[in-house]
């Protein structure tokens, strides 16, 4: 066996997952088709839950140093200040280009010892009882125990598995580019404001160092969005939509994207799993896709590592689909609603006005902010306590902060009673006796992804919950 896990695709989902696996000593290789990282900037920001995820692994500092913090709040372009306080230590949106996010996560993964093979395109796949064989375009075979397709919306892995990807095809398309302009900044701003009155999918804004990022609706929908537009096509569409091409020239990159909305029917097929855009695609409005992919990887990493390590209880790996499929389905639903709310037709405008009024109700506003930032996600663990299934925020402890104790990606019993024990699981679960005013339970058992698996103060009860997430007690 060459590796424990093959990750296909070195986008944000793939490198995040590879880092999570490597943290647990898993031998992992990342196969990436492209010879070099893409210069195309797609996502522009990280929401609170993704920021928390980075913080939980001690990765946040470089992101904060290179990003810009913006206030949280608003929905579908309707601006409202977020309710205060929010249930997070990171109540801000972190503006940071996707290219920077990918670079930092790649550096982290390679620092941990992940091998990233660029120029390696997966073209074939077969699995048997013992493992998975990936076939590369140059005929090389890579054998591993598991394989995860993080190979984007047109996932070859998903196609080879024959997993259905139902939903809506792209009905609209946009061209995007990073360019220089000859038009003065004031003129650009004035035209953009005017055009956006009727065309929400249009934008030209500074992206630093004298460059501008352009997004303009395309004329129709192309067969193959992987083929970038020409600069002439962008100029022509700008003239049609905005009445001027702003003197665009010297494109750094050109790209196109559509509004297809689809989700894989299943995230696991035997030893092969899907994560990130390979499992779900939706229009970029709302800025969710990259965030969703990072959080898929965070959910899957420790479960797959447990499987490789041999201690995963029955059903743990399947819980990746059970937990993450509904989360993405909800994001898809929300993004469909956002697309309608952004329409400038009279009907959607009226609904938009109503939503804006509803958002003045604190509970509605909080519900929407917790949805967009993903801090409100609650997995169904079948328990009634309000904390169980939710992730715990970075609470203050007497000895420091909770997330500082979670960098190794292990389970954690946060015990305020000092009477509990994880004997038998100490190789997988840390036991911290400390006090916090912010937890709201005598003790909380946290999974490696920070979600609360159990709360209480009874040792027998704890013993009945530990095996569900952490397998059998050691000898
Ligand atoms: C214009 C635009 C704006 C966006 N803005 C936001 C935003 O603000 N916030 C947000 O959260 N999301 C945003 N998104 C979505 C975000 O960009 C994606 O969700 C994210 O890139 C998904 O990451 P991924 O790693 O799953 O897939 P990808 O980034 O698509 O990475 C897949 C990787 O797999 C590789 N690959 C593909 N096939 C193979 C193969 N056969 N063999 C080997 N390698 C292969 C590809 O080369 C690629 O490197 C935006 C998207 C667009 C188009």
Domain locations in the chain as residue ranges: 3-44+97-167+262-342, 172-258, 396-470
69 Cβ contact partners less than 8 Å away, ≥ 6 residues apart: 92, 93, 94, 95
Q: What is the pLDDT of residue 384?
A: 86
pLDDT of residue 265: 98
Residue 224 confidence (pLDDT): 83
**Cis upstream peptide for 353 (omega within 30°):** no
Tell me which CATH homologous superfamily contains domain 3-44+97-167+262-342.
FAD/NAD(P)-binding domain (3.50.50.60)
Distance 268 CA to ligand 1 centre (A): 20
Instruction: Kindly give the number of the ligand 1 atom that is closest to the alpha carbon of 153.
Output: 30
Q: What six digits make up the tokens of 156?
A: 């070859």
* Cβ pair 470, 425 in contact under 8 A: yes
**Is the CB of 121 inside a 6 Å radius of any atom of ligand 1?**
yes
Question: What is the per-residue pLDDT for 208?
Answer: 87
Q: What does CATH list as the number for 396-470? A: 3.40.30.120
Ligand 1 center to 10 CA (angstroms): 9
105: Cβ contacts below 8 Å, ≥ 6 apart: 12, 15, 16, 19, 59
The whole-number pLDDT of residue 1 equals 79
pTM for this prediction = 0.97
H helix count then E strand count, the chain: 12, 24
Q: What is the CATH number of domain 172-258?
A: 3.30.70.2450
Q: Is the minimum distance from the CB of 288 to ligand 1 under 6 angstroms? A: yes
Residue nearest atom 21 of ligand 1, based on CA coordinates = 290
- Asked if 3-44+97-167+262-342 and 396-470 have one fold, the answer is no
Q: Which of 53, 95, 152 to mutate to test the pocket of ligand 1 (most atoms within 8 A of CB)?
A: 152
Position 319 scores a pLDDT of 98
pLDDT value of residue 330: 98
Residue closest to 197 by CA, chosen among 73, 342, 341: 342
pLDDT along the chain (475 residues), means of 10: 95 98 98 96 96 98 98 92 95 97 98 97 97 98 98 98 97 96 95 90 91 95 88 97 96 95 98 98 92 98 98 98 98 95 92 97 97 97 93 96 97 97 97 94 97 97 97 93
Query: Going by CA atoms, what residue is nearest to atom 3 of ligand 1?
Result: 42
Q: Which of 10, 12, 36, 42 to mutate to test the pocket of ligand 1 (most atoms within 8 A of CB)?
A: 42
Per-residue confidence (pLDDT) for residue 276, from 0 to 100: 98
Ligand 1 atom closest to the Cα of residue 44 is 8
């Amino acid at each position: 066996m060459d590796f424990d896990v093959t990750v296909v695709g070195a986008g944000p989902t793939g490198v995040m997952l590879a880092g999570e696996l490597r943290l647990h000593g898993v031998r992992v290789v990342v196969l990436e088709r492209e010879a070099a990282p893409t210069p195309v900037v797609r996502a522009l920001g990280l929401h609170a839950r993704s920021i928390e995820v980075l913080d939980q692994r001690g990765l946040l500092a470089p992101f904060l140093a290179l990003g810009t913090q913006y206030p949280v709040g608003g929905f579908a372009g309707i601006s409202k200040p977020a309710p205060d306080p929010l249930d997070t230590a990171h109540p801000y949106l972190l503006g940071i280009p996707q290219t920077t996010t990918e670079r930092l996560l790649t550096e982290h993964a390679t620092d941990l010892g992940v091998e990233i093979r660029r120029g390696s395109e997966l073209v074939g796949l077969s699995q048997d009882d013992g493992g998975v064989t990936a076939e590369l375009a140059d005929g090389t075979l890579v054998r591993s125990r598991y394989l995860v397709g993080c190979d984007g919306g047109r996932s070859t892995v998903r196609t080879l598995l024959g997993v259905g990807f139902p939903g809506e095809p792209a009905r609209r398309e946009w061209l995007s580019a990073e360019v220089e302009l000859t038009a003065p900044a004031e003129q650009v701003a004035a035209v953009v404001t005017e055009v956006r009155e009727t065309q929400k999918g249009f934008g030209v804004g500074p992206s630093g160092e004298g460059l501008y990022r352009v997004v303009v609706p395309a004329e129709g929908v192309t067969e193959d969005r992987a083929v970038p537009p020409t600069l002439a096509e962008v100029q022509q569409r700008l003239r049609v939509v905005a009445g001027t091409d702003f003197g665009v020239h010297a494109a750094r990159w050109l790209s196109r994207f559509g509004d297809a909305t689809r989700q894989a029917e299943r995230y696991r097929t035997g030893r092969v799993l899907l994560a990130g855009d390979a499992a779900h695609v939706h229009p970029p409005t709302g800025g969710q896709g990259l965030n969703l992919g990072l959080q898929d990887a965070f959910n899957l990493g420790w479960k797959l590592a447990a499987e490789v390590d041999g201690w995963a209880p029955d059903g743990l790996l399947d819980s990746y689909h059970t937990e993450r499929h509904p989360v993405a389905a909800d994001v898809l639903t929300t993004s469909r609603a956002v697309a309608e709310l952004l329409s400038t037709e009279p009907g959607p405008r009226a609904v938009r006005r109503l939503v804006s009024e509803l958002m003045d109700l604190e509970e509605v506003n909080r519900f929407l902010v917790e949805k967009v930032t993903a801090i409100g996600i609650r997995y169904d663990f079948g328990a009634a306590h309000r904390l169980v299934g939710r992730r715990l925020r970075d609470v203050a402890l007497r000895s420091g902060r909770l997330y500082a104790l979670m960098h190794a990606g292990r389970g954690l019993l946060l015990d305020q009673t000092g009477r509990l024990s994880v004997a038998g699981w100490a190789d997988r679960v840390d036991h911290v006796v400390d006090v916090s005013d912010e937890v709201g339970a005598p003790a909380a058992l946290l999974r490696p992804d920070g979600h609360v698996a159990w709360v209480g103060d009874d040792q027998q009860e704890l013993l009945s919950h530990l095996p569900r997430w952490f397998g059998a007690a050691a000898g």
